[in-house]
């Protein structure tokens, strides 16, 4: 390789290394882009439907978003944290005590030959209690040491406002990074990404609202405490497909165990039916109308982005997949693979046939000359 090629290779490796080191910041930037796209779509709807200026539309969309955040952190988070602390510090020991009593009485219902093979309930209880205490301590430490998360959230919100204020300027700056002959194509791809992200955000919000409403109805019917907070949590966790619904059912079932054990079973059945309706009917219909993502691709993308980027990768797996799908379809498939034409080589058939003939049937000219000279040398007298 030439010196210029080596320098290019070293520059590429260094660029990839730097991007890997700042991957968390890049995810925050991408989250800001997704949020700015959603707010920009809301601002356009307000602007066109109410016939307002863009500045007023942006202020209205920001006000709506701020109101939702304030309501969430003031009305939902404090009682939820209080209930969670009570659950992990005082209620779980009572549940374990009652379960040990139930385990002591269950021996009368089990056949005698099977009793030696069963684990001791008291030993299991003693082993579980330290785990629960450590889990409670870790959960409280997460809430207490959330300064870094708050700073990241603040940075994302400020970056979102900057992108929302001048989207065209930042878009042109990004397009300028590409060669001049491909800039118009990049502009078209960015427009497709904006449309796809807007459709995905709309579909995800609609699905979250439906799940939250159905969960609220089920929890109110069973008389579970903090039904509104848990229903909203179920709707928010529905933002994470496949894993979010499983996480959302744990806390309602644990709270229901404090009241009646059968309510925990009823909550599990209700959440199971809601998620079956959401995953088999609601989400496929919404995403088919909005963004076409195959379920297997969604699961693979979650595992991939979680492995390389952690929890932020899990949260942003679907929007990252949507954007990657648009770029792969536009650049790789349409611009490269679809334009890849087969090279037709023209050749002279007579020459090709001569090359395939057996050389022993048509010996070379040099051999004929040698044989002729040998015959003449034999016939001529010396």
Spatial separation of the C-alpha atoms in residues 136 and 294, rounded to whole Å: 38
Domain ranges of the chain: 22-98+149-337
| Tokens linked to 247 | 């996480």
Residue 74 pLDDT: 77
Dihedral Cα 94, 97, 102, 107, nearest 10 deg: 170
The mean pLDDT of 251-272, rounded to a whole number, is 82
204 and 239 Cβ atoms separated by less than 8 Å:
yes
For residue 278, the Cα-to-chain-centroid distance in whole angstroms is 18
Spatial separation of the C-alpha atoms in residues 262 and 220, rounded to whole Å: 15
Q: Which tens digit of pLDDT belongs to each residue from 281-295?
A: 777 676 666 667 777
Q: Which residues contact 171 (CB under 8 A, 6 or more apart)?
A: 187, 190
* Coil, helix or strand at residue 246: helix
Closest CA to 316 of 205, 248, 239, 246: 239
Alpha-helical runs (H) found in the chain: 3-21, 23-50, 54-71, 77-86, 92-105, 121-144, 147-165, 167-175, 183-222, 227-237, 244-248, 250-259, 261-277, 283-289, 295-315, 317-327, 349-356, 365-379
Residue 298 pLDDT: 77
Residue 131 pLDDT: 56
Residue 175 pLDDT: 93
The mean pLDDT of 111-128, rounded to a whole number, is 58
Lowest-confidence region among 72-86, 174-188, 213-227, 344-358: 344-358
Residue 114 pLDDT: 58
* Residue 145 vs residue 43, higher pLDDT: 43
Residue 174 pLDDT: 92
| Tokens linked to 360 | 């022993």
| Tokens linked to 341 | 């034409």
Backbone angles phi, psi at 296, to 5 degrees: -65, -40
| Tokens linked to 230 | 């848990």
Q: Which residues contact 102 (CB under 8 A, 6 or more apart)?
A: none
Q: Which tens digit of pLDDT belongs to each residue from 80-113?
A: 677 666 666 666 666 666 655 555 555 555 555 6
* Residue 371 vs residue 310, higher pLDDT: 310
Residue 47 pLDDT: 86
Spatial separation of the C-alpha atoms in residues 264 and 89, rounded to whole Å: 19
Spatial separation of the C-alpha atoms in residues 356 and 359, rounded to whole Å: 9
For residue 142, the Cα-to-chain-centroid distance in whole angstroms is 23
Spatial separation of the C-alpha atoms in residues 312 and 149, rounded to whole Å: 11
Q: Which tens digit of pLDDT belongs to each residue from 139-154?
A: 444 444 456 777 888 8
């Amino acid at each position: 390789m030439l010196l210029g090629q080596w320098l290019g290779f070293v520059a590429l490796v260094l660029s990839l290394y730097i991007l890997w080191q700042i991957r968390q910041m890049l995810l925050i930037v991408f989250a800001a882009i997704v949020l700015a796209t959603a707010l920009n779509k809301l601002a356009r709807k307000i602007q066109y439907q109410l016939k307002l200026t863009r500045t007023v539309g942006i202020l209205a969309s920001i006000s709506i978003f701020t109101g939702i955040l304030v309501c969430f952190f003031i009305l939902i988070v404090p009682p939820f944290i209080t209930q969670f602390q009570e659950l992990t510090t005082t209620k779980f020991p009572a549940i374990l005590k009652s379960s040990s009593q139930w385990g002591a009485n269950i021996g009368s219902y089990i056949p005698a030959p099977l009793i030696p093979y069963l684990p001791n309930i008291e030993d299991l209880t003693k082993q579980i209690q330290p785990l629960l205490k450590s889990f409670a301590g870790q959960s409280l430490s997460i809430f207490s040491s959330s300064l870094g998360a708050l700073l990241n959230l603040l940075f994302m919100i400020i970056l979102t406002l900057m992108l929302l204020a001048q989207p065209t300027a930042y878009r042109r700056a990004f397009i300028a990074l590409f060669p001049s002959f491909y800039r118009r194509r990049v502009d078209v791809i960015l427009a497709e990404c904006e449309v796809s992200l807007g459709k995905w955000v709309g579909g995800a919000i609609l699905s979250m609202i439906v799940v939250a409403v159905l969960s609220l109805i089920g929890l109110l019917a069973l008389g579970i405490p903090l039904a509104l907070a848990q229903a909203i949590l179920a709707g928010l966790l529905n933002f994470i497909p496949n894993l979010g619904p499983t996480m959302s059912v744990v806390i309602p079932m644990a709270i229901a165990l404090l009241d009646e054990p059968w309510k925990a079973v009823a909550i599990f059945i209700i959440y199971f039916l809601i998620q079956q309706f959401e995953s088999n009917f609601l989400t496929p219909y919404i995403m088919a109308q909005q963004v076409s993502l195959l379920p297997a691709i969604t699961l693979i993308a979650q595992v991939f982005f979680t492995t390389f980027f952690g929890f932020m990768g899990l949260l942003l797996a679907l929007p990252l997949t949507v954007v990657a799908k648009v770029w792969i379809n536009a650049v790789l498939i349409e611009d490269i693979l679809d334009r890849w034409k087969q090279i037709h080589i023209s050749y002279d058939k007579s020459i090709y046939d001569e090359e395939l003939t057996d050389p022993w049937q048509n010996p070379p000219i040099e051999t004929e000359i040698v044989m002729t000279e040998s015959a003449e040398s034999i016939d001529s007298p010396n």
